[in-house]
Structure 1
Amino acid sequence: MGTIQVVFLTVLVFFVIVTIHEWGHYYFAKRAGILVREFAIGFGPKLFSLKRGETRFTLRLIPAGGFVRMAGEDPEIVEVQPGQTVAIRVKDNLVTRLYLDRLDERTGTIRGEVDSVDLEHKLSISLNVEGEVENYSVHPQALVIARGKETQIAPIDRHFGSKPIRKRAMAIFAGPMMNFILAFVLFGVYAQMVGVPLENPDKVLIGSVLEKAPASEVDLKKGDIIDSVNGVKIGADVAKMIDIIGKSPNKPVEMTIIREGQAQVVVVTPRPDEAGDGKVGITPSLPTRPATAVETVTRSAELMKSSTVFIFENLKMLVTGQFKLDDLGGPVRTAEVTSQIAKKGIAQLTSWTALLSLYLGIFNLLPVPALDGSRLLFLGLEGIRRRPLDPSKESMVHFVGFAMLMLLMLVVTYNDILRLVRGE
């Protein structure tokens, strides 16, 4: 697999798992009638921006996640105050645009001083125009234009906080839920790709050959049948093959393979790994058959279960402090591992993408400020108290949590970059 293809697949993996997560938030927020102002992939400066309907879709510089910005979650950026001079454009007896600056350049508008304004409940504005107060109704999708930017107003019934708890909770939970669904589907695709091992296999196949490994330097290919190693018949005994090769670091090994029905002898010299065991850089596999529909679902469920257990075991080590900084990996290390797995083939990359999607879903449900789990926890407390919590205090908690997560991300990323420079 070429370098450009590997880079493309690595970027695609990140894009897919983050986009499906944010799409879950976006879709269920829209279903609840919430105004979604922005659907963003990444953080930081905008690289690309496109507005469709009420929502602006953006691609940002830092590939460390994404967000869906809903009306009412944060203070509105643009405010219109009594005493302010503005210009309005009216169509069908409704204000469709409010201009806050460059008023002399606004043609076909009514200009006046704001006497009173309510863009959330009454959707009305009163202007003092040449000494007379005139009242206008405002369109629920009217735009406020200032400093070259258009901001759609958000009536109170389009705010996140105005919706029932169950709809808000669904809009929050939908992100991780979509990651779980994606993981299940991808594990099923993986099961279809690799098939089901035969009950009584009689041979060992080469499943893949690693680049720049000893096997890639000699005539060993994916699909070759490994008949014998150093004269010892292998049959279907993978462990026997690994044992013989493992005991021969830096020593030539004679492998008899069968390709297209013809026997060939290949000499390869295993390289020692960190433990000193010889490795030639092949992934052994056993003969398989296509998985049935039931087996595909069953295998996907099994992989979901085992992967979930694996993820929680790692999270437990993180919580209990049983780790070193080098054990943590940020976007840089994840991208590095993803590119390495992409070189092994689409099947392995599909399984890895499923694992990453599952991890993203589980991680986001942790009760950590700024994550979806914390927001669901606040909604649960609101349900128990039967009244909303102080929005300013909740926003502060999420802000502090986000800042701490970003700080941890910076530290881990810096460590990843140092590790790459050191060649570790």
Structure 2
Amino acid sequence: MHMIQVVFLTVLVFFVIVSIHEWGHYFFAKRAGILVREFAIGFGPKLISVKRGETRYTLRLIPAGGFVRMAGEDPEIIDVQPGQTIAVRLKDNLVTRLYLDRLDERSSVVRGEIVSIDLENKLSVTLDIEGENESFSVHPTALMISRGKETQIAPLDRQFGSKTVAQRALAIFAGPMMNFVLAFVLFAAYIQMAGIPVESPDKLLVGQISENMPASKVDLKEGDVIDTVNGVKIGIDFDKMIEIIGKSPNIPVTMEIIRDGIAKQVVITPEPNEEGVGKVGISAALPTRSATFTETFTGSAKLMKNMTVSIFEGFKMLIFGQFKLDDLGGPVRTAEVTSQIAKQGIAQLTSWTALLSLYLGIFNLLPIPALDGSRLIFLGIEAIRRRPIDPNRESMVHFVGFALIMLLMLVVTYNDILRLVRGE
């Protein structure tokens, strides 16, 4: 596989699993009537920014996740107070634009000093225009313009906090849920591509061929039947083949293979590894058959279960300190592993993408501040108390959690880069 393809597939994997997660938040937030201000992939400075309807879609510099910014959760609404001079633009007797600066440059506007303003409930503004008060109704999607930036107002019924606990919980849980759905679909696709091992196999096939190894330099192809090695019948005894090759470092080995019903011989010279054992760079595979719909469904569910258990085993080791810093990986390590797996073929990359999607869904449900799991806990407490927790306190908890996660990400990424520089 060409390097350009590998890079493209690596970027695509990240884009797909993050986008599907954020799309879950976005879709159910919009369905609940919440104003979604931004749909972002990545963090940090904007690389690409496009506005469609009420939402701005952005691609940001740091590929460490993404976010959906909902009205009522963001700090960027500009505070407008009585006594401030503004200009408004009307359409059909409704205010559609509120200008907060550069008022002398605005044309076709009404200018005055604010007497009262309510952009959440009554959607009205009263201005003192040359000594006379005049009231205007404000359009629910009116824009506030300040310093060249447009910000849509958010009436109370369009804000996240105004929705029921169930609606907010669904908008939050939908992100991980979509990762679980994606993982299930991708595991199913992997099973369809890889097939199901046949019962009572009678032959061994050439599986993956490693790049820059002896097997990649001779006429071997995935799917070739391995008949004999140095005249010894192999059958399905992979260990026997490993034993013969392992005892022949730098000594030519004759493999007889069968391709499309035709037998042919391939001479290959194993290279010694660090222990002096001969290696040729192939893995063996057993014959497979196409999976039925039922086998695909149950097989995908089984893979989901097994991978979930493995993920929680990893969390257990992390919690009880049974790990080293090198055991952790950030975006750099993930991209490196993804590129390596991409070279193995679409089937293996599909399985790896499913695992990453499953991991992202589970990780986001952990009760760690700033993650979806923590936000769901706050909503659960609100449901029990029948009143919300102080938003300022909750925001502070999430802010601290996010800062700590970003700090850990920086440390892990720095370690990943050092490891690459050292060639480990």
Please give the TM-score of this superposition, normalised by the length of structure 2. 0.97
Contact 1:49–1:59 under 8 Å retained in 2: yes
1:184 to 2:184 alignment:
yes
Report the CA distance shift for 1:97/1:274 in structure 2 as closer, same or farther (over 3 A): farther
Shift of 1:139: 0.6
1:229-269 deviations in Å (ceiling 9; x for gaps): 22221112223323433444444332221123222222323
Cα distance between partner residues in 2 of 1:67 and 1:36: 11
State the match for 2:211 in structure 1.
211
1:299 to 2:303 alignment:
no
Shift of 1:11: 0.3
State the match for 1:321 in structure 2.
321
1:285-331 deviations in Å (ceiling 9; x for gaps): 11111111111101111111111111111111111110001111110
Give, as a single letter, the amino acid of the residue that structure 2 aligns with 1:206.
V
State the match for 2:57 in structure 1.
57
State the match for 2:387 in structure 1.
387
Q: Percent identity?
A: 77
Matches within 5 A, 1:14-413: 14-273=14-273, 277-413=277-413
Contact 1:210–1:343 under 8 Å retained in 2: no
Give, as a single letter, the amino acid of the residue that structure 1 aligns with 2:293.
A
Cα distance between partner residues in 2 of 1:83 and 1:271: 82
1:179-204 deviations in Å (ceiling 9; x for gaps): 00000000000000011111121111
Cα distance between partner residues in 2 of 1:328 and 1:239: 33
Cα distance between partner residues in 2 of 1:121 and 1:272: 76
SS at match of 2:202: coil
Mean alpha-carbon deviation: is it higher for 289-298 or for 253-262? 253-262
Give, as a single letter, the amino acid of the residue that structure 2 aligns with 1:290.
S
Please give the TM-score of this superposition, normalised by the length of structure 1. 0.97
Structure 1 runs (4+) deviating above 6 angstroms are: none
SS at match of 2:362: helix
Contact 1:197–1:288 under 8 Å retained in 2: yes
Segments of 5+ residues of structure 1 without an aligned counterpart are none
SS at match of 2:87: strand
Report the CA distance shift for 1:404/1:271 in structure 2 as closer, same or farther (over 3 A): farther
SS at match of 1:69: strand
1:358-398 deviations in Å (ceiling 9; x for gaps): 00000000000111001101111111111100111111111
Cα distance between partner residues in 2 of 1:368 and 1:47: 29
Report the CA distance shift for 1:310/1:275 in structure 2 as closer, same or farther (over 3 A): farther
Report the CA distance shift for 1:28/1:207 in structure 2 as closer, same or farther (over 3 A): same
State the match for 1:9 in structure 2.
9
CA-based RMSD = 1.3
Shift of 1:110: 0.2
Give, as a single letter, the amino acid of the residue that structure 2 aligns with 1:267.
V
Count of paired positions: 424
Cα distance between partner residues in 2 of 1:336 and 1:210: 16
Shift of 1:278: 3.6
Segments of 5+ residues of structure 2 without an aligned counterpart are none
